[in-house]
Structure 1
Amino acid sequence: MASRSSLVVNARVHLPGSRGRSAVITNNIEYVATREGADKSATVDDLRRSELAERMGLVGYCAERPGSTALFDQNGAVQLRTARRELEKADGAIVTVVLSVRRDEACELDLACKEDWQRFCRRNLSPALAEAMGIPESSVRWVAAEHENHPSSKHVHVIAWSSDGSFDSLMARNALDRARNDLTDAALAPALAVEHEARDLARSRTVDAVRGVPVNETNVTLPPDGRISYAHLRRWHPEVAKEVDSAVARAESAHPEIKATVVAYRESVERCADLRGLKGVERDRYVSDAMRELRARQCNAVLRIIAPDRTAIPTQDLERTRRPERGPATERRYMRALAGEVRACVSPENLDAACRAVREHRPIPKRCLQGCPSYTLSMAKAPIAAGKALARVLASATESRKGRRDLSDDVGQQAERVLARALAAAASAAIRGDAVGIALAPAKSIVKGMIL
């Protein structure tokens, strides 16, 4: 059965100028590609890539016909002489890696044949090598070959380097450990998916076993009304929740089949924790959370036995949250509309007059807004209140800011903003002010709160 030790990753770095690096180029690459047991078979993926390359006329994309070489890389089959030529031109250090799994676990990990290894390497090698080598993934270059010459294991040899020579030192231990963990997680993903399915099945069997307990064995007195769920009882009726817990414990003691399903579920949860690589407190928390969730499901099953017809909660149509009438976002949307009105309705002559007033830090004339519908409506509804608010904004918005920067270096844009704020203040005063000209405080607060 697969475990965290199923995938063995051995890596060695050959630094520039070392004898080992020269040996990789002259001997090791040939050993990897031609040794007896190196799988030269053409995989379905290789044939598909080769056919696509020929159809598109991609010279060098798949340099060798599948079935004539054991070497492969991210793109397809690779000639031995091509790989050696790239190694001879490469600068920096070279990494040799051997990935191996036990033969009896290869099928469980989906690493049973050359095509499985190709997919695994093309999906996971580049990011893991980039992590270990401390270089961008785009700089990682590698070739590999799968060997079938060992009786107890299946393995693949990988030779990796940096295309730009940026990797020229030993790998940090913590970075190499992270890369190993990433590769192990990827290799164990199929086994973990199978174990998750087994865990869910064991949980369903446990809950189904509890549903078969006779009602006279529960001995729980429920509240006369209200929701019937374990979470609700724990919050509002903790003494009843304890009775339900006790009923589940008694059922496990009285019915061995329930106890057996709980034990099977716990073993499956622990197996998942081991495959995920959890240890210590983190592993204990993972297992305890899973067992707590199982107990809640069991308690809900007991509650359905006791009160099968109790409605949990009346079905109600949830009302959508009403959009707030006021707030920064609402004000910005409103002000964008008013700014568009200013650009569309204020004549060029009036806009120039507003720009001159802004540039000279003096009040903007009211006549600049006479062509705007919002100004016309506000003055028609409450002329005194709207006029006072309008005058206050047009006068105060352009006065000196005591050394602070203007809202915009563009005078024309600033003039549009001031006019839009004035329209907003006039409209607000017309709506909230009375007919005798009382300008309310909200109009003033709106003016100060406007941020365009």
Structure 2
Amino acid sequence: MASRSSLVVNARVHLPGSRGRSAVITNNVEYIATREGADRSLTPDDARRAELAERMGLVGYYAERPGSTALFGQDGAVALKDARKELEAADGAIATVVLSVRRDEADELRLACKEDWQRFCRQNLAPALSEAMGVPESSVRWLAAEHENHPSSKHVHVVAWSSDGSFDSLMARNRLERARSDLTGAALRPALAVEHEARDIARTRAVDAARAVPAEEIDVTLPPDGRISYAHLRRWHPDTAKAVDAALELAESKHPELKAANDAYRDSIERCAELKGLGGARRDRYVEDAMGELRSRQANAALRTVAPDRTAPPEKGARRTHRPKEGPATDRRRTRALEAEVRACVTGRDLEEAREAVRGRRPVPESCLRACPSYALSVAKAPIAVGGAVARALMADTGSKGGGRTLSDEVGRKAERILARALMSAISAALRGDAAGVVLAPAKTIVKGIFL
């Protein structure tokens, strides 16, 4: 069964001028491309990419037809001579990486064949290598080959470098560990999805087992009026909620099927925690929160056997209220509009700086907003107030470590959200300054028009 140790990542760096770097170009690439066991099979993805290249008239796109080379990269099959040529032209260090999984776990992890490895590498290698090498993802270059020659494992050899030569030193230990964690999480994602489904099935069975407990065994005195729900009882009648908990614990000791269902659910939750890489207090909190949520569902199921729900039915023909002018929903609509402005205006170097700041959990530079019209007009209205509000917003959004490392597309979305919230703070500060009479009149109508 797959675990956090299922994917093994071994990395080695060959610095500029070293004998090892020269050996990678002259011998290692040929070794991984031609050794017995290197999978040269034509994958459906290779065929699609080749067909697309031919349709687009990309003459010379493939020096060798897919299926005649074991090497592949981000964009398709790679000929050995082309790989050597690109490596010879590259500056900086070269990293050699081996990713391997046990054969008996390859199917569970969906890494059982060349096409699986191509999918995995093309989705996850660039962001992980960017983290490990300490270079922008846009400059990461890599090529790989899948080998079937080991009796107990399946593995892929990877050669990586930076297009601009900025990768020229050994990998920092903390960066390499984060990259390994990202790759392991990506490899375990299929197994985690299967376990999530098993968890949901186990939870349903546990709730059904609680619903089957006879009503006379749930010997609790319910309040004469009000809602009959576990959450309501915990808030307004805690003694009754404790009595329901005690009744369920007693029923678990009397009904083996209920205990077995609860144990199966706990086992599945602990398995999910293991696949997520949780440990210590985080793991305990994750398991206890899940078991508490199950107890709430079981308590509601048991209460339905004791008394009907007393919630009032919805009024027939109730009219929809007017859309509120303020509130969370309104803020979300405004934020979505500002995210669209960010996507349209923040590009190139500004966007890359924002993503790098999010990756390093540093405040996004305020200069990344300079291309946004809302920001420029807000600064024109109230430069001091807007500058302070934007600085506070950028610091608050990136100061929290949140849920750990994110992959490339998630980093991009987070950067957009942070910049959008900073724009919201800028506009709000400008409007507050307007109310205080400390703004420039010419920009008033334009900024309010953008915001409203």
TM over 0.5, shorter chain:
yes
Q: Could you tell me whether the CA contact under 8 Å between 1:61 and 1:75 is conserved in 2?
A: no
Q: Displacement of 1:137 after TM fit?
A: 0.8
Q: 1:324 to 1:171 in 2, by over 3 A?
A: closer
Q: For residue 176 of structure 1, what is the aligned residue in structure 2?
A: 176
1:313 to partner: Cα distance: 3.5
Q: Superposition pairs for residues 53-452 of structure 1, below 5 Å?
A: 53-307=53-307, 309-316=308-315, 317=318, 320=321, 323=324, 407=440, 413=442
> Structure 1 residues 223-232 or 91-100, which shifts more?
223-232
| Unaligned stretches of 5+ residues in structure 2 | 331-436, 446-451
Could you list the structure 1 runs, at least 4 aligned residues long, displaced by more than 6 angstroms after superposition. Answer: none
CA contact (8 A) 2:15 2:92 kept: yes
Identical amino acids, percent of aligned pairs: 74
Q: Deviations over 1:135-191 (max 9, x none)?
A: 111101111000000000000000011111111001111110110000000000000
State the partner residue of 2:398.
none
Query: Offset of 1:226 from its aligned partner?
Result: 1.1
Deviations 1:314-361 (A, max 9, x none): 425586367569xxx9xxxxxxxxxxxxxxxxxxxxxxxxxxxxxxxx
Per-residue deviation, residues 76-129 of structure 1 (Å, max 9, x unmatched)? 111100000111111000000000000000000000000000000000001110
Question: Retained in 2: the 8 A contact 1:43–1:114?
Answer: yes
| CA displacement at 1:59 relative to structure 2 | 2.8
Q: CA RMSD in A?
A: 2.2
Letter in 2 for 1:90: A
The answer (yes or no) to whether the contact 1:16–1:93 under 8 Å persists in 2 is yes
Contact 1:63 1:77 in 2 (8 A): no
**AA paired with 1:22?**
S
Residue 354 of structure 2 is matched in structure 1 by: none
Question: How does the TM-score come out when normalised to structure 1?
Answer: 0.71
CA shift digits 1:54-76 (9 cap, x unpaired): 11111343332111000000011
C-alpha separation in 2, matches of 1:235 and 1:318: 31
Distance between the aligned counterparts of 2:191 and 2:28, measured in 1?
A: 33
Question: Which sections of structure 1, spanning at least 5 residues, go unmatched?
Answer: 330-403, 418-451
How far 1:310 moved relative to its partner? Answer: 3.1
Amino acid at match of 2:440: L
The 3 A distance-change label for structure 1 pair 304 and 323 is closer
Alpha-carbon distance in structure 2 between the residues aligned to 1:322 and 1:30? 66
In the TM superposition, residue 204 of structure 1 has moved relative to its aligned partner by 0.3
The 3 A distance-change label for structure 1 pair 322 and 151 is closer
Cα pair 1:49 1:62 within 8 Å, conserved: no
- Structure 2 Cα separation of the partners of residues 5 and 324 of structure 1: 52
Relative to structure 1, the CA distance from residue 218 to residue 281 in structure 2 (aligned partners, 3 Å threshold; closer, same or farther) is: same
Q: Secondary structure at the match of 2:159?
A: strand
Matched residue SS, 2:30 = helix
Question: What SS is found at the alignment partner of 2:232?
Answer: helix
Task: Tell me the distance in 2 between the aligned counterparts of 1:283 and 1:303.
Answer: 30
Q: When the two structures are aligned, how many residues end up with a matched partner? A: 336
Q: What is the letter of the counterpart of residue 14 of structure 1? A: H
Contact 1:38 1:145 in 2 (8 A): yes
Change (3 A) 1:318 1:130: farther
2 CA distance for matches of 1:71 and 1:216? Answer: 69
Q: Is the 8 A contact 2:62 2:79 kept in 1?
A: no
Following superposition, the deviation at residue 312 of structure 1 comes to: 2.5
Residue 405 of structure 1 deviates from its aligned partner by: 9.1
CA contact (8 A) 2:117 2:146 kept: yes
Q: Per-residue displacement from partner, 1:178-226 (whole Å, max 9, x unpaired)?
A: 1000000000000000000001100000000111111111111111221
SS at match of 1:108: helix
CA contact (8 A) 1:72 1:143 kept: yes
Q: Offset at 1:247? A: 1.1
Task: Report which of the two structures shows the higher radius of gyration computed on alpha carbons.
Answer: 1
- C-alpha change, 1:263 and 1:406, in structure 2 (3 Å) is closer
Specify whether residues 214 and 87 from structure 1 end up closer, same or farther in structure 2 by C-alpha distance, changes over 3 A only.
Answer: same
Aligned letter for 1:407?
L
Q: Which residue of 2 aligns with 1:29?
A: 29
Paired amino acid for 1:225:
D
